[in-house]
């Protein structure tokens, strides 16, 4: 009997490995694109023929507005992971979209905004003067009107461990690029966020680096490369310049070149944490789980607090290497550190881990947690189907899966 269960567990684990390779890693790259494509489809409306109105009251036609912009770190670099964009109106917040790999974002709002945001879940946290959050329904409170882009609204970015600048929206900004949102590390910068070796950079090299970073943010890749390479010529151990050069190659989709540059950043300063995170992401996309595991172990040894995404990548690697106890430990750690739930797909990973461990009730809890965090996501039909299967498995074993309250 135990041999039969062992074979069944192995089959289930392999099956969910294939599912999670799509759900947890590949969708990570496609999330923001899905949101934009879904938004475009949702904006189409059909005006049926109707008899002449007898009421003299005029009707206002539906209006939609397009916004775009960019998020950058206070170091001038692109964010290390996708960042949620929040639209905050009258003290209540909604997550509109996520940034792309270079920090760019775009979304649509208007009279039919809810149907235009299939990948933008509502975030109904209320922001008070003490910066603490509480649950509140923005759709039923006072004059909160998320469908009106000219209401009392502003945009912020949401990334664990960082505070965000804000952009105030007004009617003149409809259908425009609203500018740049800057993320600042909360409190004193921790070791690993900035290269110690780079603090010894000569003034001339620093100037070239700053000009190169500015050119990169403007999308002038050729100019940025020339300036960053000049900075490196002036100071070969300029780890941050190597990191930015890797970011540039990643924008060009030259993953081999990006990996080489990130490795040079590590060679210049082995205690600089960010290159390990960048390389771990590329390794995970390539399904190189041994390398992903090695890189994230080093990253988390350098900084075990400020990189919940590092625990997430590590857990994905452990899961695909069939190390379920370690995968569970690090996925739970990622979940606990990510207080703002900026990476909700950790719930899907935990669901797969508990399914592979033969704990369908626990798996169902995490599927529910994901659906609660992302009520309108593009993966939801698949997640609901997997939830139904795990609930059936739990019921067949006489276990009751209770909802997760997070």
Helix 255-268 to helix 239-251 angle (10° resolution) is 170
| Identical topology for domains 7-37+273-406 and 64-185 | no
CATH no., domain 64-185: 2.60.40.1120
Q: What is the pLDDT of residue 211?
A: 92
Q: What is the pLDDT of residue 166?
A: 78
Q: What is the pLDDT of residue 144?
A: 39
Residue 17 has a CB neighbour count (10 Å cut-off) of 17
Q: What is the pLDDT of residue 96?
A: 86
- State how beta strands 92-98 and 153-158 pair: unpaired
This prediction has a pTM of 0.57
Q: What is the pLDDT of residue 194?
A: 59
Residue 311's contacts (CB-CB under 8 Å, 6 or more residues apart) are: 296, 300, 330, 331, 333, 334, 337
Q: What is the pLDDT of residue 353?
A: 97
∠ CA 137-139-141, rounded to 5°: 65
Q: What is the pLDDT of residue 81?
A: 75
Q: What is the pLDDT of residue 186?
A: 61
Does the domain spanning 7-37+273-406 belong to CATH 1.25.40.10? yes
pLDDT along the chain (406 residues), means of 10: 48 44 40 35 43 44 75 75 83 82 82 34 29 28 42 80 78 75 65 60 91 85 95 94 93 93 94 93 94 96 90 96 96 90 90 96 96 87 95 81 45
Q: How far apart are CA 99 and CA 106, in angstroms?
A: 8
Q: What is the pLDDT of residue 193?
A: 56
Q: For the sheet containing 125-127, what is the strand order?
A: 133-135, 125-127, 92-98, 84-89, 153-158, 166-168
Q: What is the pLDDT of residue 108?
A: 86
Q: How far apart are CA 77 and CA 367, in angstroms?
A: 34
Q: What is the pLDDT of residue 311?
A: 95
How many Å is the Cα radius of gyration of the chain?
23
Q: What residue segments make up the domains of the chain, in order of their start?
A: 7-37+273-406, 64-185
- State how beta strands 84-89 and 92-98 pair: antiparallel
């Amino acid at each position: 009997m135990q041999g039969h269960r062992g074979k069944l567990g192995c089959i289930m684990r392999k099956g969910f490995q294939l599912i999670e390779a799509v759900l947890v890693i590949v969708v990570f790259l496609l999330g923001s694109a899905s949101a934009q494509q879904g938004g475009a489809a949702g904006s189409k409306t059909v005006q049926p023929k109707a008899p002449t109105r007898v009421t003299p009251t005029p009707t206002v036609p539906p209006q939609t507005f397009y916004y775009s912009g960019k998020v950058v770190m206070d170091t001038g670099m692109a964010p290390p992971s996708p960042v949620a964009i929040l639209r905050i109106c009258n003290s209540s917040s909604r997550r509109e979209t996520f940034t792309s790999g270079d920090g760019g974002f775009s979304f649509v709002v208007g009279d039919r905004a809810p149907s235009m945001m299939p990948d933008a879940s509502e975030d109904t946290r209320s922001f008070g003067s003490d910066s603490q959050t509480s649950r509140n329904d923005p759709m039923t409170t006072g004059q909160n009107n998320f469908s009106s882009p000219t209401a009392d609204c502003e945009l912020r970015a949401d990334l664990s461990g960082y505070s965000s600048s804000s952009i105030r929206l007004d009617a003149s900004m409809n259908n425009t690029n609203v500018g740049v949102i800057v993320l600042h590390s909360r409190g004193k910068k921790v070791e690993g966020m900035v290269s110690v070796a780079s603090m010894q950079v000569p003034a001339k090299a620093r100037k070239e680096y700053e000009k190169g970073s500015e050119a990169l943010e403007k999308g002038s890749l050729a100019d940025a490369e020339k300036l960053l390479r000049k900075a490196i010529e002036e100071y070969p151990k300029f780890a941050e310049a190597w990191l930015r050069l890797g970011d540039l190659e990643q924008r060009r989709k030259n993953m081999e070149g990006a990996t080489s540059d990130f490795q040079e950043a590590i060679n210049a300063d082995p205690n600089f944490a960010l290159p390990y995170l960048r390389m771990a992401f590329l390794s995970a996309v390539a399904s190189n789980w041994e390398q992903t595991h090695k890189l994230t172990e080093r990253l988390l040894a350098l900084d075990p607090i400020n990189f919940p995404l590092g625990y997430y990548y590590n857990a994905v690697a452990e899961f695909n290497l069939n190390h379920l106890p370690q995968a569970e430990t690090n996925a739970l750690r990622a979940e606990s550190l990510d207080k703002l739930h900026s990476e909700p797909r950790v719930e899907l990973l935990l669901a797969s881990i508990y399914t592979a461990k033969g704990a369908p009730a626990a798996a169902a809890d995490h599927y529910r947690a994901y659906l609660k965090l992302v009520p309108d996501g593009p993966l939801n039909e698949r997640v609901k189907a997997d939830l139904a299967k795990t609930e059936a498995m739990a019921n067949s074993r006489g276990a009751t899966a209770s909802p997760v309250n997070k």
